[in-house]
Structure 1
Amino acid sequence: MRRTITVLSLLLATTACATAPTGSGLMTVAEPMVSPILTGADALDTMTYAQPQEARVTHVALDLALDFDEKRVGGTANLRVLADPGEDEIVLDSNGLQISRITDGSGRELSYEIGEMVDEGGKGAPLTIQLGGARNVSIQYMAPADAAALQWLTPEQTAGGQYPYLFSQGQAILNRTWIPTQDSPGIRQTWEARVTAPKPLDVVMSGVRQGEPEDLGNGRRAFRFVMDKPVPPYLIAIAAGDIDFQAIGPRSGVWAEPSVLQRAYDEVADTEEMIDAAEELYGEYRWGRYDMIVLPPAFPYGGMENPVMTFLTPTFIAGDRSNNGLVAHELAHSWSGNLVTNAVWEDSWLNEGVTSYFENRIVEEVYGEQRAEQEAALAFAGIEDVLAEVGMDAPGTALHHESTGAEIGSAITYDKGHFFLRTVESIVGRERFDAWLRQWFDNHAFQPATSQLFYEDMMANLVRNRAEADRLMLREWIFEPGLPSNVARPDPAAFAEVDAAVRDYSKIRTAIVDPATGTAFPGAEGVRLRTPSEWENWTSAERQRFLQRIPTDLSARELENLDSKLGLSTTRNNEILFLWLELALANRYEPAVPQTEQFLGRVGRAKFVSPLFATLWSEGDWGRPIATRIYAETRPTYHAVTRGAVDRVMGRSE
């Protein structure tokens, strides 16, 4: 179905917000950009209560105070509303927000109702406001103490150990727990904020900071931010703590706790080069600055692409920039995801799959073809593993798929999307493909998109004829499960040396290890591995490949040998450490338990935490008591995203 545009969305394309009177607490940004909305059936977001075809939020102005003692955020949200003529109510999303008063721009009370709470999926409750002709709405509110988007850390949970810390994570629909607005990726909004915090804490947000913080004379400071380009609401983000800044280039820099800052800077020092490479590929970087903040390890994701302030986990810091494909990924989101955004979460591959392809192109430009090909090969192996597990016909393996309640994971959303574009590029040629993708970003900048719109754009602006369309198999890639037959597979030579080492390891092991007991045959010598010097010369991707491909049913003696020769338990690379711990726990290797407990106590990244608990849980009488004991200690330190994942693994209902 083609995109349809209502009278309201036509108005949105040409209407700008008026400047509010100074000091009114309303919007102060003059004429912010307003984005159109998509109203086709494929753009209907079932995870919002909003009815944007009738009335929608176009601008949010926050005036908030951070209370670290009570772990609460509260204040005022001023909303600019655009509504069809005669429409007299607007519906917002709310999840636990405590509303004390709602008025129009002149202070007139507006009636409102909070509907029935829906706990499933975090959808929350509708907040319906009777406008009475108002187009400026002021909401006085307090976010709940357990707001799922917010993670409050005690000083002990930080690197410095002296001050508390706060960060938010809004994707996908968590921001409705601390901001009253229409929380849907297809309803893009500009925003601004004034946030007060106790001294000496600094505040950063995913908007451009306006001047220096204002000392309020009461032990607090006020920080101001503006995002004058319309973004999906999940990209409104905040962090506050004892943090310092170090510039990387003329438009990039990194924030981190003082004791972490130098290591963080060293790891991301190639960022300006990455921005240049991205612009050369797909056009102007349109957000002004590209800053990053390396958060405490409780952050649940590897990174979050919040505009002008990417949030990063410290777990990617390896000391050799081997994991900073993560930075390339979050930077690429400045085009795919932030510039052009999936209108509904069922099309999240439009964000993540396109970005994964773009990331690999940046890595190729900055670090070379070999590294890019190896990282692509790792991703492709993940696709094959998932399809082998769930089946080629599993509905969730289509790029566009209806939500089933069971997530298949990143191998589809990220990696199948990556290989879809990689395949198209291989058929039409890089020059044509790059020109098409660049026009996609240009022509849909600051707008939402759907899979159908993406497909139609390819057919209209890329595909030359029916024969080429048949070769590309676009509809099969986007709308059908499994992996199409025309997939452009990675170069098998990418891991030739490593795969040979895996074969040697497996062959020798088979010859000397009794498969019935997992122990060496009498008189057999130890299992021969690749020499430590060869391991030391391998890239991070090569090391990961080796650990992912060697036999998984290893004896304690073999695991001890692996660790002693390769230094797995002492590595600074958390990707390698995670694979080692997962392998060790799957074989009930007792020496790995204390390190697992320590790792799970300091890291909150769901990518690591959830699989390790799953591995322990799968080990029955041996692993479940260990998992239960560790989780009892660590659960309160995890973000809601990570808690939810582990709760599902361990069968918890809360």
Structure 2
Amino acid sequence: MPVYRPSEGCIHIDALSCLRNTGITIYNSAEPRRDSLEVSVRTSRPSCQLIERIESILYSVFQVCWLEPEQTAGKVKPFFYTQGQAVLNRSFFPCADTPSVKITYSATIKVPHGLVAVMSASQWHEPSADGEFRFTMDKPIPSYLIALAIGDLESAEIGPRCDILIMPPSFPFGGMENPCLTFVTPCLLAGDHSLVDVLIHEISHSWFGNLVTNADWGEFWLNEGFTMYAQRRITTMIFGHAYMCLEAATGRALLRQHIDTTGEEHPLNKLRVKIEPGVDPDDTYNETPYEKGFCFVSYLAHLVGDQKRFDDFLKAYVEKFKFQSVVAEDMLNFYLGYFPELKQQDVANKPGLEFEHWLNVPGWPRFLPDLSPGDELMKPANDLANLWSSPEVDLEKVKQIDISLWKTYQTVYFLDRLLEKSPLPSGNMVLLEKTYPKVSKTKNSELRLRWTQIIGKQKYTLPIYRALWASSETARKLALSTFQDTKKQLHINVQNYVSKILM
């Protein structure tokens, strides 16, 4: 039978011997929403022999990992993928499923003819003739970053350093920063490079999240707040300060909407969230760790007062904690050690802006970075939104503002302002659509989303279904018929969520 050896601190099981010699089955169960995987062995026949290795462990995953052909772009072959964040990889393979533990791994994947396997690995070996793919990740990563995808995949060379996997249309996330293989939604293929900020964000996770990782999901802001800051630093270098401020203003509006919806005092509106029994770590996935986290990192940069010195700190922080998992105190203590003059000024206890307040008090951030350099892009959008929200639209003034010259986020900002003012006066929506047909028929998902929200006064599938269900009987019938017609194209999680809305 399985034997625990205190001197070695592990359980020795010869699963193959158990099956061959006794015919018994070894059962493993993992409790949901636990921070680690505990293996329980149950058997009624105590005849397992003790040896020095585990011969094999067989795992299986659930339906959520499998997409039917109808859920793919080609609609011919099925697709398989894993999504580990936050604590889902415990159902994929045996692991300490917590970001505080980092591991290296190797994998051998065998797939049917005509399918291709890819993984979040630093080394991909050439596949064998019988469909066997081998992968190696020689850098320690947390379990949630181990990812696998199998499908009818085609590839194109776009650069030497970054592999990007365009997921099927039913992939229910914007992107996932799996190391060496970023998963992204096909919605990014807008045709105009306008949503490149998502790629910048996921690549920025290479340093913040993948290399230096939050030690638990209550510290999720350490991953996302620093990544948002890095994303916007890169955006500034590529597109200019004004454009970065415009994009950041869009993010700030999303944070305002989130806090207004959930309430200032909601515990998930803290940077440091207490993950208690029964709390799903995925609940921390909201605008707070991203945008409030960005505000805190921006405040730390503001205290330094010199962009180059703060950039140098970020590099030193990553170098100090690379391949490690950290909590806020690790970062803040290193920050104060790196800038001793700030420690001497006791900035950690500045009234109203105490570091402890930032971490543990919910609500709107006490410091907001200056976005006024974006006014040159935001003012025309604000003016245009005011014109369209008037009972009598002055078309001559509207024509003086040419949105065909705008960058995507300027149009996004304009639509956000319209959404705030919705519902628009009677007839304005029809006139708006006739005036800007390229906006109403755009393939850009961010623009389509906001256009649909203005029409229906409500983000993507779930909010639109909520809006329809809360509307008229005709709208409810439309929601039901649309769901029935498109159900097979949706990810199973999305199917379940929509079903609950339409109950």
Task: Please indicate the TM-score interval, normalised by the length of the shorter structure.
Answer: 0.7 to 0.9
Aligned residues of 1:122 and 1:174 also touching (Cα < 8 A): no
Deviations 1:131-153 (A, max 9, x none): 9987753433241452x3x1323
CA–CA distance in structure 2, aligned partners of residues 565 and 407 of structure 1: 41
The superposition leaves residues 584-612 of structure 1 with CA deviations (integer Å, 9 ceiling, x where unpaired) of 1239xxxxxxxxxxxxxxxxxxx522222
The CA deviation string for residues 169-222 of structure 1, in whole angstroms up to 9 with x for no partner, is: 221122222223222222211111111112222221111343321002xxxx11
The equivalences for 1:484-563 within 5 A come to: 484-491=365-372, 493=375, 494-506=377-389, 508-509=390-391, 512=392, 530-531=398-399, 534-550=402-418, 551-554=421-424, 557-563=427-433
SS of 1:227's partner is strand
1:445 corresponds to 2:316: no
- Give deviations 1:506-561, integer Å, cap 9, x for gaps: 3x32xx4xxxxxxxxxxxx7877733971111111111111111221136632222
Residue 281 of structure 1 corresponds to none
* 1:226 and 2:143 aligned: no
Alignment match of 1:191 (pick from 105, 130, 144): 105
Aligned 8 A contact 2:100 2:142 in 1: yes
Please tell me whether residue 574 in structure 1 is matched to residue 445 in structure 2: yes
- Aligned equivalent of 1:211: 125
What is aligned with 2:45? none
Quote the residue 2:15 is aligned against.
102
The answer to whether the Cα contact below 8 Å between 2:213 and 2:223 also exists between their aligned partners in 1 is yes
Q: Is the 8 A contact 1:476 1:484 kept in 2?
A: no
Distance 1:446 1:326 in 2: 24
2:7 match: 85
Q: Specify which of 571, 580, 583 is matched with residue 454 of structure 2.
A: 583
Q: Counterparts in 2 of 1:425-504, with a 5 A limit? A: 425-429=301-305, 430-462=307-339, 463-471=342-350, 473-491=354-372, 493=375, 494-504=377-387
Q: Structure 1 residue 310: deviation in Å? A: 0.4
Q: Residue 486 and residue 186 in structure 1: after superposition, are their counterparts in 2 closer, same or farther (change >3 A)?
A: same
Partner of 1:274: none
Query: Equivalences for 1:286-297 in 2 at 5 Å?
Result: 290-297=162-169
Farther-moved stretch of structure 1 (535-544 vs 460-469):
460-469
* Contact kept? 2:246, 2:413, Cα under 8 Å: no
Contact 2:77/2:152 (8 A) holds in 1: yes
Contact 1:305 1:334 survives alignment (8 Å): yes
Cα distance, 1:122 vs structure 2: 8.8
Aligned match of 1:165 = 79
**1:497 Cα shift?**
1.6
Secondary structure of residue in 2 paired with 1:293 = strand
Distance 1:549 1:450, change over 3 A: same
Change (3 A) 1:247 1:581: same
Describe the SS at the equivalent of 2:77: coil
Do 1:112 and 1:129's aligned partners in 2 also have CA atoms closer than 8 Å? Answer: yes
C-alpha separation between the residues in 2 aligned to 1:141 and 1:581? 46
Q: Deviations over 1:269-297 (max 9, x none)?
A: xxxxxxxxxxxxxxxxxxxxx21111111
Where in structure 2 are the equivalents of 1:110-189 lying within 5 Å? 113-115=27-29, 118=31, 126-128=38-40, 136-146=53-63, 148=64, 150-154=65-69, 156-189=70-103
1:142–1:393 Cα change, 3 Å:
closer
Which residue does 2:207 correspond to in 1?
335
**What does the per-residue CA deviation read over 1:468-487, in whole Å, with 9 as the maximum and x for residues that have no partner?**
33446322222221234333
Kept in 1, the 8 Å contact 2:217–2:284? The answer is no
Q: 1:196-275, aligned counterparts within 5 Å?
A: 196-216=110-130, 221-249=131-159, 251-252=160-161
Counterpart CA distance in 2 for 1:617 and 1:245 is 41
| 1:180 aligned partner, one-letter code | P
Instruction: Report if aligned partners of 1:188, 1:232 keep a CA contact under 8 Å in 2.
Output: yes
Tell me the SS of whatever aligns to 2:40: strand
> Higher helix proportion, which one?
2
Contact 1:473 1:484 in 2 (8 A): no
The structural deviation recorded for 1:630 is 2.5
**Helix, strand or coil at the partner of 1:245:** coil
Alignment CA distance shift 1:650-1:360 (3 Å): farther
CA distance in 2, matches of 1:84, 1:580: 63
Q: Quick one: distance in 2 between partners of 1:542 and 1:583?
A: 16
Distance 1:225 1:556, change over 3 A: farther
Match in the other structure for 2:479: 627
Assess if the C-alpha contact under 8 Å between 1:112 and 1:127 holds in 2: no
Q: Could you say which residue in structure 2 is the equivalent of 1:639?
A: 491
Deviation at 1:334, TM superposition (A): 0.4
Amino acid at match of 2:132: A
CA distance in 1, matches of 2:404, 2:235: 22
Q: Are the aligned partners of 1:339 and 1:441 in contact in 2 as well (CA < 8 Å)?
A: yes
- From 455, 463, 467, give the equivalent of 1:615: 467
Distance 1:415 1:643, change over 3 A: farther
Q: Deviations along 1:21-58, whole A, 9 cap, x unmatched?
A: xxxxxxxxxxxxxxxxxxxxxxxxxxxxxxxxxx9xxx
- Contact conserved, 1:532 with 1:565, CA < 8 A, in 2? no
Q: Retained in 1: the 8 A contact 2:218–2:284?
A: no
Aligned 8 A contact 1:340 1:444 in 2: yes
Q: For residue 54 of structure 2, give the secondary structure of its aligned residue in structure 1.
A: strand
Q: Deviations over 1:551-582 (max 9, x none)?
A: 21136632222222112331121110111112
Distance 2:310 2:224 in 1: 18
Following the alignment from structure 1 to structure 2, what is the Cα–Cα distance between the partners of residues 231 and 134? 30
How many residues align structurally? Answer: 478
Letter in 2 for 1:328: I
- In the alignment, what sits opposite 1:271? none
Q: Go from structure 1 to structure 2 and tell me whether the alpha carbon gap of 1:642 and 1:452 turns closer, same or farther (over 3 Å shift).
A: farther
Amino acid at match of 2:324: Q
The one-letter amino acid paired with 2:456 is: L
Distance in 2 separating the partners of 1:466 and 1:136: 57
- 2: distance between equivalents of 1:545 and 1:134? 65
- Greater Cα shift, 169-178 or 298-307: 169-178
Question: Structure 1 residues 411, 532: closer, same or farther in 2, change over 3 A?
Answer: farther
By relative contact order (CA 8 Å, sep 6+), the higher-ranking structure is 2
Secondary structure at the residue paired with 1:229? strand
| Secondary structure at 2:402 match in 1 | helix
What percent identity do the matched residue pairs reach?
Answer: 27
Structure 2 Cα separation of the partners of residues 101 and 313 of structure 1: 42
Aligned to 1:266: none
How far apart are residue 435 of structure 1 and its match? 2.0
Q: Distance in 2 between matches of 1:186 and 1:132?
A: 34
Give the Cα–Cα distance (whole angstroms) in 2 for the partners of residues 135 and 306 of structure 1. 34
Q: TM-score, normalised by structure 2?
A: 0.85
Paired letter, 1:426: H
Deviation (angstroms), 1:649:
4.2
* Partner SS, residue 158 of structure 2: strand
Unaligned runs of 5+ in 2: 43-47
TM-score (norm 1): 0.66
Q: Secondary structure at the match of 1:334?
A: coil
Query: Is the aligned partner of 1:413 residue 2:289?
Result: yes
Separation of aligned partners in 1, 2:478 and 2:213: 42
In structure 2, do the counterparts of structure 1 residues 122 and 476 end up closer, same or farther at CA, with 3 Å as the change threshold? Answer: closer
In the alignment, the residues of structure 1 paired with residue 337 and residue 492 of structure 2 have an alpha-carbon distance, to the nearest angstrom, of 42
C-alpha change, 1:355 and 1:347, in structure 2 (3 Å) is same
Partners of 2:222 and 2:327 lie apart in 1 by 8
Partner of 1:384: 256
